[in-house]
Amino acid sequence: MYLSKGTTGMAAVFDLVIRNGTILDGSGEAAVDGDVAISGGKIAAVGKVSGSGREEIEAKGKLVTPGFVDIHTHYDGQATWSDRFSPSSNHGVTSVVMGNCGVGFAPCRPDHREMLLQVMEGVEEIPKPVLAEGVTWTWESFPEYLDSLSRMRYDLDCATLVPHAAVRVYVMGKRGADREPATQQDAIRMSALVKEGLEAGALGFSTSRTMIHRLTDGTLAPTITAGEEELTAIALGMKETGKGIIQLTGDDYDVAQDGVTGLAMWRRIVESSGRPLSMALFQKSRLYKEKWRLSLKFLEEAHRDGLPIRAQVSNRAVGVLMGLDCERNAFTGCPSFEKIQHLPLDQKVAEMRKPDMRARLLSEEPYDANPGKLVQLRGFEQMFLLGDPPNYTPAKDSHIAALAAQRGVPVLELAYDLMLENDGRTIFYFPANNYFDFNFDAVEAMMRHPLTFQGTGDGGAHVGTICDASLTTHMLTYWTRDRRDGEKVPLPWAVQELTSKTADFFGLKDRGYLKPGYKADVNVIDYDRLHLHAPRAVHDLPAGGKRLFQKADGYVATICGGEITYREGVATGALPGRLVRGAQAAPV
């Protein structure tokens, strides 16, 4: 048993001691063998620890790392109805930042609740019935929302950003939702609300300008076309407080003709406000698949001029998962499928095995109000079988269209038949970005750039279509150990990317390192046994809602604030996690 109660003959000096591990302290330095002692929720000693602990973990042959800090999630609703930030907490994450992409639930007037539910459902694909039953709505203002979260107890720590869409709707009502230009008075009021949120403990402000962020009826999200005057007013309000980062999800580097016009606006905003900017960066589409290089050039130019602008990147493609047990598949939106889509999986499979249903579905065309999603449904030349264990780097000639050509059958018929295999649990993998050359060369270039860090995992969002909260585990398994199609990355570097690098930029400087005085958030990992399973559907959301959940083996223990929250992936029942209010200083 790896866990013991103290050491015979020695007085307990520490709350917990992790013995004989291979320590990667989050600094990027090489691993060292030794012990980690914890007292009062803090790291007390690292190295050769002579005193015993009330509990001890034998970690010989295991990695000991800081807990992972995920700075891009959407647990805004889940944080109000659940004490667990699953699936992130199942992948070594001990701190999350939510409220990204400009969406969230505060501030919110009672008569605007329906509107914000619709925005979250459309942008982040969390079903409205789940949100309607789950979100507690014990607040109106953003400070009241934080007060509500502060009364909760969690399996990890959470912090949040002030979401632009909520602020815009609060001030402008339907005008804001309809993306009408803000008046000067509107902008002043929005700025005041963001300042109020920062003073109450938000880590920053978030917004979105990507055309893919739409409501279910195809309407663009409230923030997409907000003007520079509005955004500048908000940023200047942030300057007055001296607090907070700006988080941007956008398409500006894609759609601007010269690739930098939109980013030039953000440079002006950062120059005038002095507030740090974190922008999401992907290889966005086949048409613009090289534009990410212009964004890296933009980062470099800003850095040379002393501007704090960085990019959040992913260590794999954002993978849209499709199948009968997922939210979408090639027949979603077809009239005949709409009649059976809410049936239990076994009944759905039984219906689709009937010859008349097969004939009808194969003759129908899908419909979705979001053109981006509609392209994905039958993008068979960019769609693969995910498999178990999941394969996130499929070969070019293994996409569904290629398989159909090899077998001499119509591609839609092959997709239909494959969907019914494994009792309807087959999952198709559609890399929505970062994989247009059928390799991770672009991902690697973005990921290794010194002005980027790990983000965009979207934990808590896209519950039936994407399961990328496992990016932390994928970083360790694929990039440092299992990669066969290119160079591996150094393990100390990978751990730093998941810990101190994200924590430091977002102002959580009290964590991310295994050094005395830092918060005792720790992972003990059996590196050789670390393994990702394929995602599977589980029904554990409010209103019986379904989501995709991905299990990982190899996390021997996850520790938050000095308490063991997970052992071998199983929750212990400990809930030491709390709301983090505002930036946290590094230990002196």
Whether residue 473 is predicted with pLDDT greater than 60 in this model: the reply is yes
Whether residue 4 is predicted with pLDDT greater than 80 in this model: the reply is no
User: What is the enclosing helix (H) or strand (E) of 200?
Assistant: helix 184-200
Residue 10: predicted pLDDT: 55
Helix 113-124 to helix 164-172 angle, to the nearest 10 degrees? Answer: 150
Residue 11: predicted pLDDT: 62
Domains of the chain with CATH codes = 3-66+518-571 (2.30.40.10), 320-431 (no CATH)
Q: Of all residues in the chain, what percent carry a pLDDT higher than 70?
A: 96
**Residues comprising the chain, all counted:** 588
CA distance 383 to 22: 39
286: pLDDT confidence band, cut at 50, 70 and 90? confident
Average pLDDT of 360-388?
93
Residue 373: predicted pLDDT: 85
Residue 255: predicted pLDDT: 41
Whether residue 491 is predicted with pLDDT greater than 70 in this model: the reply is yes
The tokens describing 317, both together, are 């493609």
Whether residue 504 is predicted with pLDDT greater than 90 in this model: the reply is yes
In terms of Cα–Cα distance, which of 40, 31, 28, 30 is closest to 61?
Answer: 31
Max CA-CA distance within the chain? 77
441-461: b (≥16 Cβ within 10 Å) or e? ebbbebbebebbbbbbbbbbb
- pLDDT tens for each residue of 30-71: 999 999 999 999 999 999 999 999 999 999 999 999 999 999
DSSP secondary-structure letter at 154? B
Whether residue 259 is predicted with pLDDT greater than 80 in this model: the reply is no
- pLDDT tens for each residue of 116-154: 999 999 999 999 999 999 999 999 999 999 999 999 999
| C-alpha separations of 569 from 111, 471, 552, 553 in Å | 41, 16, 7, 7
Whether residue 5 is predicted with pLDDT greater than 60 in this model: the reply is no
What is this structure's pTM? 0.95
- pLDDT tens for each residue of 60-80: 999 999 999 999 999 999 999
9: pLDDT confidence band, cut at 50, 70 and 90? very low
The tokens describing 555, both together, are 């996390």
Residue carrying structure tokens 């290119």: 486
Q: Which residue has the higher pLDDT, 148 or 263?
A: 148
How far from chain centre, in Å, is Cα 69?
11
Average pLDDT of 212-230?
94
Measured from the Cβ of residue 219, the count of other Cβ atoms closer than 10 Å reads 17
Q: Of all residues in the chain, what percent carry a pLDDT higher than 90?
A: 91
DSSP secondary-structure letter at 109? -
Average pLDDT of 372-391?
93
The per-residue DSSP string of 157-184 comes to EEEEEEEHHHHHHHHHTHHHHTTPPPPH
Mean of all residue pLDDT scores within the chain:
95
- pLDDT tens for each residue of 164-213: 999 999 999 999 999 999 999 999 999 999 999 999 999 999 999 998 89
Residue 116: predicted pLDDT: 97
